[in-house]
């Protein structure tokens, strides 16, 4: 989507936190500023992005509207704090660890997991049997 020259240009904009060939991550301050500009001053999404120094021919004419729609939904449903929180990926890229309150709870969870895996294995065995026929 973005070539190296466009990425370099986008990264020079103070409102861009990071940028790859496929996506732009906007700064937290820009998101809040854009929301306030939209609600308080009645600016259109394209006008907000142009004022912030973005070339709409590079980022796409629909991107401002899509971003503002997504940010407004987050802002209206969850508030300002959630809007500025990075939600892409998990911290450290790992699955969160399961925490059990007691050994009984852990045993119950593991028994359910074993039952699920057994059912999955039975299903796969039946599937292999059908393939052979």
Task: Dump the DSSP string for 8-36.
Answer: HHHHTSTTEEEE-SS-EEE-HHHHHHHHH
Report the pLDDT averaged over residues 48-73. 94
Q: How far is CA 77 from CA 40, 74, 84, 99, in A?
A: 18, 5, 13, 29
Query: Is residue 57 predicted with pLDDT exceeding 90?
Result: yes
Q: Is residue 80 over pLDDT 60?
A: yes
Question: Over 60: is that where the pLDDT of 117 sits?
Answer: yes
C-beta atoms surrounding 19 within 10 Å: 19
- Checking if the pLDDT of 30 tops 60, the result is yes
Q: What is the mean pLDDT of the chain?
A: 90
Calculate helix-pair angle for 63-78, 28-41, nearest 10 degrees. 90
Contact 15, 34 (CB under 8 A): no
Report which secondary-structure segment, H or E, holds 114.
Answer: helix 103-132
Question: At 90, is the pLDDT very low, low, confident or very high (cuts 50, 70, 90)?
Answer: low
Pick the more confident residue, 96 or 114.
114
Distance CA 76, CA 90 (A): 24
């Amino acid at each position: 989507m973005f070539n190296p020259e466009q990425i370099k240009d986008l990264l020079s904009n103070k409102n861009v936190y990071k940028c790859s060939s496929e996506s732009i991550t906007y700064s937290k301050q820009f998101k809040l500023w854009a929301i306030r500009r939209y609600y308080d001053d009645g600016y259109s999404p394209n006008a907000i992005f142009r004022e912030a120094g973005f070339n709409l021919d590079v980022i796409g004419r629909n991107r401002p509207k899509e971003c503002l729609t997504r940010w407004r939904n987050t802002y209206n449903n969850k508030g300002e704090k959630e809007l500025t929180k990075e939600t892409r990926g998990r911290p450290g890229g790992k699955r969160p660890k399961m925490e059990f309150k007691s050994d009984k709870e852990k045993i119950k969870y593991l028994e359910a997991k074993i039952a699920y895996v057994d059912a999955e294995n039975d299903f796969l065995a039946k599937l292999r049997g059908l393939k052979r026929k």
